[in-house]
Amino acid sequence: MIAIDFLNTRRGGKLGEADATERLTSFEAVASWAAVAGLLSKGDASVSGATQPHYELALDLRADFQNVLLSRTPAARRKLLKTLNLALSSKGAFIAALESRGEFRFGVQFREPNPSNVSFAIANAILECLRDTPLDSIKQCEAADCIWFFVDTTKNRSRRWCVGQGCGARSRSRKHYHLSKVR
């Protein structure tokens, strides 16, 4: 899910900022991530004319979304709502009715290449995620050195680790350990 992938553009530990690795180091990095994720074309994700507020808005979307998942307080939800609406107030983009494979749906359309298109598209992806995914199924990996999120689709919501290299292996070996204990 794209909105979850967006959260996972930071890597590192829960121990502190110093341990975190930032993938979105500039607005260019955000725009190219969004284009690769399929949120908009490289052309629509124009970086010419991008300013610091464009970059900060994208990072705020990620931080506020993450806070809602971690703290679930009304204050965190209000903050995310405000940031989403700021991102969705871009004049260069709009939500339109589209039809694909015989089904009507909402979709993002762009009037012209504009740096604000990037946060618009990201905000829309976050909204779609919040609409379609039960909040309690979006979890943060339990590994101490990992801050990634994942959607737990198991029936009893028992998944604890993300699919990141170390964490996936940890969860597999854990499973193996449980199995061998049962035997």
Identity at 80, one-letter amino acid code: L
Site string for Zn ion, 59-98 (x = CB under 5 A): ----------------------------------------
From the CB of 141, what's the least distance to Zn ion, in Å?
Answer: 3
Q: Is 100 helix (H, G, I), strand (E, B) or coil?
A: strand
- For 162, residues 6+ apart whose C-beta sits below 8 A from its C-beta are 8, 141, 143, 146, 148, 149, 150, 168
Cα–Cα distances (Å) from 110 to 90, 105, 134, in that order, read 10, 16, 29
Considering only residues 130 through 169, tell me which ones interact with Zn ion, judged by CB under 5 A: 141, 143, 146, 148, 162, 164, 167
Number of chain residues interacting with Zn ion (CB under 5 A): 7
From the CB of 76, what's the least distance to Zn ion, in Å?
Answer: 22
Binding site residues, Zn ion, CB under 5 A? 141, 143, 146, 148, 162, 164, 167
